[in-house]
A = this chain, B = another copy of it.
Amino acid sequence: MKKAVILLSGGLDSTTCLAVAKSKSFSIYALSFRYGQRHEFEISAAKKIARSSQVNDHVVLDIDLRAFGGSALTDNIDVPKSRDGKIGGSEIPITYVPARNTIFLSFALAYAETIESQNIFIGVNALDYSGYPDCRPEYIKSFEKMSNLGTKAGVEGKSKIKIHTPLIDLSKKEIIQEGIKLGVDYSKTHSCYDPAKNGIACGLCDACILRREGFEKANIKDPIEYAN
């Protein structure tokens, strides 16, 4: 079986991405990050999903993105409600974490190189999150190219690292439809940027709004609870 490293946040997208990789018969090595999130519910969801998906291994890495600051997801900045939180007039949301996907993919690359895998899956999505620069196809292609220049495999010409983005052109509705087809249990996933202390999703942040819209459009009941 071919090995694949999957970036697993515990959210709807990465969980669907994992299911896609499994459906393609990859042996799964999941990778999650504890990075100064405002809550630990993501990690707990990722662990549950990894276990129930019978992954080969699941590494949870601690990295301190708070050391630099700069985002509502890692700082004490309020998470914006109703999709109005943009940075200085641009279309990039304030929930953008500087270079986050670049850091995540770099660790995935180290993991892949260590287990001699040439496959990395990331659940980025260019349609719903077009505001994030590091979710765009041209960025992913460029990361892939860099990976093949900066690793043993690339230099020795033995094999090529491939960054798989099975969700990149799908809408949230289509992602959910794909996941349901593959048997994903979305009750285990966690999407909210700003959950209550008991983990209940706020229902008002960007992530909640996109998720709910997706389920509505797919005409499927979202199995998680919302506070609002």
Q: Hey, which chain B residues are within 8 Å of A115, CB to CB?
A: 68
Q: Tell whether A199 is near chain B: CB-to-CB under 8 Å.
A: no
A29, B100: Cα distance in complex, Å: 19
Question: Which residues from chain B contact A67 at a C-beta distance below 8 Å?
Answer: 59, 61
Interface residues of A in 58-77 (CB under 8 A from B): 59, 61-65, 67-70
Complex Cα gap A152–B147 (Å): 21
Give the interface size bracket for A toward B: 35 or more
List the one stretch of A19-27, A134-142, A165-173, A190-198 in contact with chain B.
A134-142
A60 to chain B minimum Cβ distance, whole angstroms, is: 9
Pair A64/B61 contact, Cβ less than 8 Å: yes
Which chain B positions have C-beta within 8 A of A146?
102, 139, 142-143, 145-146
Given contacts A102-B147, A113-B98, contact A152 B92 (CB under 8 A): yes
Contact between chains at B98 and A110 (CB < 8 Å): yes
Binary flags per residue of A98-123, CB closer than 8 Å to B gives 1, else 0: 11111101110111011100000000
Given contacts A65-B110, A114-B69, contact A150 B143 (CB under 8 A): yes
* Residues from chain B with Cβ under 8 Å of A138 in the complex: 149
Question: How far, in angstroms, from A155 to B90 measured CA to CA in the complex?
Answer: 10
